[in-house]
Amino acid sequence: MFTPAFRRFVWAGCALFAAAGTPACTLFGAVGEGMVEGGGTLAAKTRDEHPGPQRFDIAVPSKGYAYLGLFTGDKHRFNMGFNEKGLFLARSTSGSLPRKERLALPRFFKHRLSATDWIMQHYASVDEVLAHREVFVEPVNYLLADRTKIAVVEVMPGGQTTVRITEHGTAAHTNHFIEPESEALNQNIGSSSARRLERIRELLAAAPKPLKITDMAAMTRDRHDGPVRSIWRTGTKPDGVQTLAAIAVSLPSSGNPSLNLTWRTEQFPRHGLARLQRCARRFQNGHCPLPKEMFRYRKPSLIRFKKGPPIQKEIRRPSGLRVMKQTAGIS
């Protein structure tokens, strides 16, 4: 017979292993007069994964809206950012469901576009996305935002959704179901997901109001709870799950959006920044007002990096999608 103390030891070890090995992200935002400096919306996300290909790019489809942000994986799927209409999107894994079960479920794929790319190309506001819920197929969590509201959408197995809309206040989500209609579906809530949700809610509640984009960016770099359970996760081994990038976006009531990117690599290449700025200036004479000052790169000063070779991948792009060839190395 195992003693209660031994059982607690085994349970704690399994929970730590699950927290250390599961891809995870933290989504959060604030919206409304008095909550956000100057009004409008702030939204942010950290991307936690095993090191792999990621690019910060601008996509210009032959039809639909242009969009900017982080593209990840060998297939260059859109992960987080916003489009020319000021619609922000970020999503996180439903890590409380077993990975094998999640991967066996249907996924949205239309005209060779994933759900995130489809949303960015076709919809201009939170309300437009919510009017087309057929895009919500695979079990993930979304944070959608525009200048007036934030929607946190949980997609459950089978495509059913929960939607929580915030028009004045803050919102946050991590990697497990948190709404009354969905929480019974949690099979294993990782200790990292639970603690990161608690921590980001603490930070949002305690921060002086109104909030600024720099406040949101600072929250993405919070390391209060160690290498595995912090919002900015350094991880326990070089090839393990860790925070690879973070985005904070300002969508003001009027004027152009701005963006703060934290990049877990060596210094972002200067030539890459210049190319992105040139591309943004070209957009301005059409219908995509993306100012060059939106490109604000910051490397966390408390994190040590080992220089690694750039990851060069041949990207297979969806039909009609033109993306700049900028690759960053993952350390």
d(CA 154, CA 103): 17
**Tens digit of pLDDT for each residue in 32-73?**
999 999 999 999 999 999 888 888 878 888 888 888 888 888
Burial of 271 per CB tally in 10 Å (0-12, 13-18, 19+): exposed
Is residue 6 one of the residues assigned to a domain?
Answer: no
CATH number at residue 296: 3.60.60.10
Number of domains comprising the chain: 1
Is residue 13 one of the residues assigned to a domain?
Answer: no
| Whole-number pLDDT of residue 18 | 38
Structural domain harbouring 226: 23-323
Is residue 7 one of the residues assigned to a domain?
Answer: no
Is residue 4 one of the residues assigned to a domain?
Answer: no
Is residue 230 one of the residues assigned to a domain?
Answer: yes
**Ordered alpha helix ranges (H), the chain:** 4-21, 99-104, 115-122, 126-130, 191-206, 213-220, 226-229, 270-284
d(CA 259, CA 125): 18
**Tens digit of pLDDT for each residue in 220-262?**
999 999 999 999 999 999 889 999 999 999 999 988 888 888 8
The answer to which of 139-153, 164-178, 215-229, 317-331 has the lowest mean pLDDT is: 317-331
| Whole-number pLDDT of residue 22 | 61
- Region 208-216: mean pLDDT is 96
Is residue 81 one of the residues assigned to a domain?
Answer: yes
Is residue 18 one of the residues assigned to a domain?
Answer: no
Q: Does residue 78 have a pLDDT over 80? A: yes
| Whole-number pLDDT of residue 275 | 55
Is residue 10 one of the residues assigned to a domain?
Answer: no
